Amino acid sequence: MPCSWRCRLAPRGLARCTRVEPLQQRLDRLSFCAALGGLLLACLQLEGNLRAFRASKGISQEALGDLANLHRTYVGSIERLERNVSLDNIEKLAVALEVDVVDLLAKA
């Protein structure tokens, strides 16, 4: 399987590299992802709870970003599971939504 990042040796934006990921690297990556299964579950719970609490308050991603002192696109990318969120930012979101941090990470 070709790697998913653009090769620095290829001309800009013309092609992805054609290097193939060695089998051992693929197996290592898969076992690492399996070990992170619990963390992935927490991310899914955070995403669902964040969206639910935001919707129940009737506020937009932009308004939540303003309340939490975070950028609106950052809030959206958290909800789409595109970001790794620090505990500091989870706490900012919880304070802005007037809920406990535990509620944001609790199973729905």
- Rg of the chain's alpha carbons, rounded to an integer? 18
**More confident call, 48 vs 18:** 48
pLDDT average, residue stretch 86-102: 93
Reported pTM: 0.64
Q: Are 81 and 43 within 8 A, CB to CB?
A: yes
Q: Which CATH number fits domain 43-105: 1.10.260.40, 3.20.130.10, 2.40.160.20, 3.40.35.10?
A: 1.10.260.40
- Contact between 24 and 86 under an 8 Å Cβ cutoff? The reply is no
39 — pLDDT class (breaks 50, 70, 90): low
Averaged pLDDT for residues 51-68: 94
Q: What is the pLDDT of residue 50?
A: 93
Contact 19, 3 (CB under 8 A): yes
- Output the CA angle 96-74-85, nearest 5 degrees: 75
